Amino acid sequence: MTDAFRIEFVPGVTPDKWLRVWARRMPDSPVDAGPVDDGDALKHLREGTASMALLRLPVDKDGLHVIPLYDEMPVVVVAKEHAAAAFDEVGVADLSDEVLLQDPAEVPEWARVATSEARERSTSMPPMTTKQAISVVASGSGIVIVPLSVARLHHRKDVVHRPVTGVAPSHIGLAWRVDDDDPRLEAFIGIVRGRTERSSRGSSSDTPSGSASPGSQASPRAGSGGGPGRTARNAARSRTQRAGGKGGKGSSSSSRGRRHGRR
């Protein structure tokens, strides 16, 4: 019996497109995919309860292969009546006196510009999930700064989100264990990287880049540079001159020159 192939993904990541491609290409090899909290993604991977994880970088790469996939825009989530809601985007410095309802270490750019009072109030907040923090945001008691996908995941009618400048984007990556040699890993990596089904099976990887396939190498182009075409053409011209323009031989030589040098 084949071991289960489980892929986990942190909040905001939507692997639906990749999973649809997998189902089409690998109908006899079902994948068990499901969400996981950010804090558990690496734990499950190292414990072996997950084969792969789509998670936010950076992570401790010890014993893992990790490939970056894409970046996410940071946004600030505020109450609908908040002053920031009137702008298309907000600078992180403009949020210096707001209470951040999450660990300031998660947004070091805010921590660097925040007032001492705002930092003190933020660090005194009890731990909350993102969903809980956004419910507090709705009451007008603070802000959260999260990737756009997370803000959309926890969207409410009484809050809005705006792009926040001065904060680095978050990065999504794909991770798996170094000691795991399950061939299904490579199949999923190929799907995520956009390889076609043909290339993911290795049919186009046997020929080195820039080399022709066996039997398809083109001959040097006749009549170019100093190659065989030029040599044949010079030889034909010499034969024509020796023939002295005598009817058949000259014509025959000239004809051979066209066949060898101008085809």
Q: Where are the domains positioned within the chain? A: 6-71+171-200, 74-168, 228-261
pLDDT at 2: 59
Cβ(199)–Cβ(83) below 8 Å = no
pLDDT at 258: 41
Low-confidence ranges of the chain (pLDDT < 50): 1, 200, 202-233, 235-263
Whole-model pTM: value is 0.72
pLDDT at 218: 36
pLDDT at 56: 96
Fold matches, 6-71+171-200 and 74-168: yes
Q: Alpha helix locations (H) across the chain?
A: 16-25, 38-47, 108-113, 116-123, 130-138, 148-153, 183-192, 197-200, 228-243, 247-261
pLDDT at 196: 83
Maximum alpha-carbon separation in the chain: 107
CATH 2.60.40.10 matches 6-71+171-200 = no
The CATH code that applies to domain 74-168 is 3.40.190.10
